[in-house]
Structure 1
Amino acid sequence: MTTPVATLSQARSRIAAARRIVVKVGSSSLTTAAGGLDPARLDALVDALAARRHAGSQVVLVSSGAIAAGLAPLNLRRRPRDLASQQAAASVGQLQLAHAYTASFARFDLVVGQVLLTADDVVRRAHYRNAQRTFDRLLALGAVPVVNENDTVATDEIRFGDNDRLAALVAHLVGADALVLLSDVDGVYDRNPKEPGAKLIAEVGDSADVDDVDVTAAGSGLGTGGMASKLAAARLASAAGIPVLLTAAADAAGALGPAEVGTAFAVTGPRLSARRFWLGHAAGAAGRLHLDDGAVAAVVGRRRSLLAAGITGVDGDFEAGDVVELLDLRGQVVARGVAGFDAVELPGLIGRSSHELPAEQRREVVHADDLVPF
């Protein structure tokens, strides 16, 4: 068990008081080493979630474990590498997982609603808004949404994705006051926690505080995430105004109670509107615009619109209305925004001042209202 911190930080206080909270749990925290669900572990998690729910908070659970839960029923000894077998395991395991959660939450007279998401549901603006409405209605009706990637039909999500990032996206999508990441480690350490002398980092006030953390420790082999994905998710959520707590699933009661366990991540940025969060962090980018130093200063420093004069190059095949990344001269992404021109129109415009352009083309390439600087 994690040693409680001596005093509650502002982040921990906000997490303990959150009225709407998203909780993510990893595969290894729900299943046996051989695959298949561990009923005792799942019930212990639901005990903590139900206690928080009955204390007056709305709870959204992002649960991994579908593929892992399908291994034992299909007599698979380990997580398969080929996509077809992964999808078959997910197909069987998702039913196992949903049934287990339904039965476990029923002990507390709580109804579960299953929400399966793919990348399109957070990348496409219309899907994003539809998912938002679904969550709002489920919570208003008193249900506990249980979220997972739709691994049965997903492709890249299974091979490269993880539910840590999904949890951060869901936390903002539902307007959560806090995000709790539960896994098989009890927090972030200054080195591999298996090494002698490793110390728990109880508070993270800035993302730079964990820049040197060792993220190479091997996991259980049942999931796709790891410490790197958890830190990325924590950074994403905290930068968007949501405090984060990372701890072990065994400490779920403490995390969802006084929040005195694990590693707490303080908020590092303002709360973004749903549109600006989607634009900056969820939407897929269809192309890239390369900017000179003057344009970077205007876009990032003064929050101005991007004009053709400040663009030095264009990559990608995009249309007006698509999301594009804005890069500085070093190739670093400094902002994202909605393109006002098709890619094929821009080569003849870039580097030219507005007064040099035809009247119908004297407009912003990316308007300030459709731009999110980093």
Structure 2
Amino acid sequence: MDDAVRSLSETRATIATARSVVVKIGSSALTSMESGIDLRALNALADAIEARMRAGSDVVVVSSGAVGAGIAPLGLTKRPRDLATKQAAASVGQLALAHAWGTSFARYGRTVGQVLLTADDIARRTQHRNAQSTLDRLRALGAVAIVNENDTVATTELRFGDNDRLAAMVAHLVGADALVLLSDVDGLYDGDPRKGGATLISEVTSPEDLDGVVAGSGGALGTGGMASKLSAARLAADSGVPVLLAAATDAADALTGAGVGTAFAARPTRMSARKFWVRHAADTRGGLHLDAGAVRAVVDRRRSLLPAGITGVDGRFYGGDVVSLFGPDGSPVARGVVAYDSTELGEMLGRSTVELPSELQRPVVHADDLVRL
């Protein structure tokens, strides 16, 4: 480890030396309303990513900008608001964006592969694994994976909401050692830096470091903003992936020394892929209401959920679906993979396991398939 890396905080040193990195690039760093893709900016970002790869890291790129890249070619004067026009712009821009990345990395003899995802691809376990396999295989074949949300087909119900959250999902999906979020902001501030008087927060080591922080929404070309970046950083850090939030113009410094922007420390132990999917990716299909004793068993003692502690069932679901668990006051306390259909559970509520037939004596939600909120 060189002296520059040695002098960094533990979190920054981990990011600087990570062997597997996901780099997310915001729309404002790649596109403009007037001319579409900013090729000079894109080439500079590709140069920084190439340097990191040549240093020995494996990099997956999550690239925003499809809608922004399609605005100018279609003669639009502002980012569209209706879904059909957004998808039309994305269909034009996605092609241009993929070509631009391919041309840029071709300068180094590298091939790129485009991976378009919807939230449904992450929420459904089978598709989740397929996406993981595709990304792993692209990397094994030496290609640079360029990931984006599939804006041309994603509906409101099937959207990640922004590519910051997508990047956090991808970081866990590929088992990355670090996530770098690059945009038009140079870090997290305790207020709006455009209004003056705001202070840069260099390190976030715990939720208490965020007390009093005010995060805003996105700009004209993007759907994110500081609020989405902060949410994504916390999601990734909670799953065990450290995060660096920095300006795209500082990409070279961010990807070599990690000495710029704001660093978010990761939780000490990495969340398993299955528990991450249950907590952050899977759609819930219903809910179970628990009495106080069951909440203590599930939340405090990390025990499996048994039918005796269930007081009510919401919705229609089947064994293998993810459901929410609610306490006596109706607040969510956990999520888990349920072992029974909702119709079966109706006859099991409040009953001791020994009172049930042998085929119904397994836990309703096993501790290994349960995550606290």
Name the TM tier (shorter chain).
Answer: over 0.9
1:285 aligns with 2:280: no
Question: Larger deviation: 51-60 or 331-340?
Answer: 331-340
Query: Unaligned regions of 5+ residues in structure 2, if any?
Result: none
- Could you say which residue in structure 2 is the equivalent of 1:141? 141
- Could you say which residue in structure 2 is the equivalent of 1:324? 323
- 1:39-67 CA distance string (max 9 Å, x none): 11111111111110111111000001001
The amino acid that maps onto 2:120 is D
Residues 177 and 5 of structure 1: CA distance in aligned 2, closer, same or farther (over 3 Å)? closer
Contact 1:68 1:93 in 2 (8 A): yes
1:88 aligns with 2:88: yes
1:226 aligns with 2:225: yes
Secondary structure at 1:286's aligned position in 2? Answer: strand
Task: Supply the distance in 1 between the matched residues of 2:233 and 2:17 (Cα, whole angstroms).
Answer: 19
Percent identity, aligned pairs only, is 65
Task: Supply the distance in 2 between the matched residues of 1:133 and 1:307 (Cα, whole angstroms).
Answer: 35
Following TM superposition, by how much is the alpha carbon of 1:269 offset from its aligned partner in structure 2, in angstroms?
Answer: 4.7
Question: Larger deviation: 113-122 or 308-317?
Answer: 308-317
- Could you say which residue in structure 1 is the equivalent of 2:60? 60
Secondary structure at 2:365's aligned position in 1? Answer: coil
Task: Supply the distance in 1 between the matched residues of 2:11 and 2:329 (Cα, whole angstroms).
Answer: 35
The amino acid that maps onto 1:361 is L
Following TM superposition, by how much is the alpha carbon of 1:317 offset from its aligned partner in structure 2, in angstroms?
Answer: 1.3
- Could you say which residue in structure 1 is the equivalent of 2:370? 371
How many residues end up aligned between the 2 structures?
A: 370
Task: Supply the distance in 2 between the matched residues of 1:126 and 1:316 (Cα, whole angstroms).
Answer: 23
Contact 2:286 2:314 in 1 (8 A): yes
Task: Supply the distance in 1 between the matched residues of 2:111 and 2:240 (Cα, whole angstroms).
Answer: 29
Contact 2:5 2:16 in 1 (8 A): no
Contact 1:239 1:270 in 2 (8 A): no
- Could you say which residue in structure 2 is the equivalent of 1:175? 175
Task: Supply the distance in 2 between the matched residues of 1:212 and 1:322 (Cα, whole angstroms).
Answer: 38
Following TM superposition, by how much is the alpha carbon of 1:77 offset from its aligned partner in structure 2, in angstroms?
Answer: 0.7
Residues 146 and 157 of structure 1: CA distance in aligned 2, closer, same or farther (over 3 Å)? farther
Following TM superposition, by how much is the alpha carbon of 1:5 offset from its aligned partner in structure 2, in angstroms?
Answer: 12
Task: Supply the distance in 2 between the matched residues of 1:363 and 1:35 (Cα, whole angstroms).
Answer: 61
Q: Where do 1:247-262 residues align within 5 Å?
A: 247-262=246-261
Contact 1:35 1:77 in 2 (8 A): no
Contact 2:67 2:86 in 1 (8 A): yes
Residues 159 and 306 of structure 1: CA distance in aligned 2, closer, same or farther (over 3 Å)? closer
- Could you say which residue in structure 2 is the equivalent of 1:362? 361
Contact 1:151 1:157 in 2 (8 A): no
Residues 157 and 104 of structure 1: CA distance in aligned 2, closer, same or farther (over 3 Å)? farther
- Could you say which residue in structure 2 is the equivalent of 1:155? 155
Q: Where do 1:1-374 residues align within 5 Å?
A: 7-34=7-34, 36-156=36-156, 161-216=161-216, 218-374=217-373
The amino acid that maps onto 2:359 is E
Following TM superposition, by how much is the alpha carbon of 1:282 offset from its aligned partner in structure 2, in angstroms?
Answer: 1.0
Query: Unaligned regions of 5+ residues in structure 1, if any?
Result: none
Question: Larger deviation: 24-33 or 151-160?
Answer: 151-160
Task: Supply the distance in 2 between the matched residues of 1:67 and 1:91 (Cα, whole angstroms).
Answer: 8
Contact 1:160 1:224 in 2 (8 A): no
Task: Supply the distance in 1 between the matched residues of 2:330 and 2:17 (Cα, whole angstroms).
Answer: 41
Contact 1:239 1:269 in 2 (8 A): no
- TM value normalised by structure 1: 0.94
- 1:113-149 CA distance string (max 9 Å, x none): 1111111211111111111111111111111100001
Residues 6 and 253 of structure 1: CA distance in aligned 2, closer, same or farther (over 3 Å)? same
Task: Supply the distance in 1 between the matched residues of 2:231 and 2:188 (Cα, whole angstroms).
Answer: 12
- TM value normalised by structure 2: 0.95
Task: Supply the distance in 2 between the matched residues of 1:143 and 1:150 (Cα, whole angstroms).
Answer: 20
- 1:193-223 CA distance string (max 9 Å, x none): 122221000000012322421113x532111
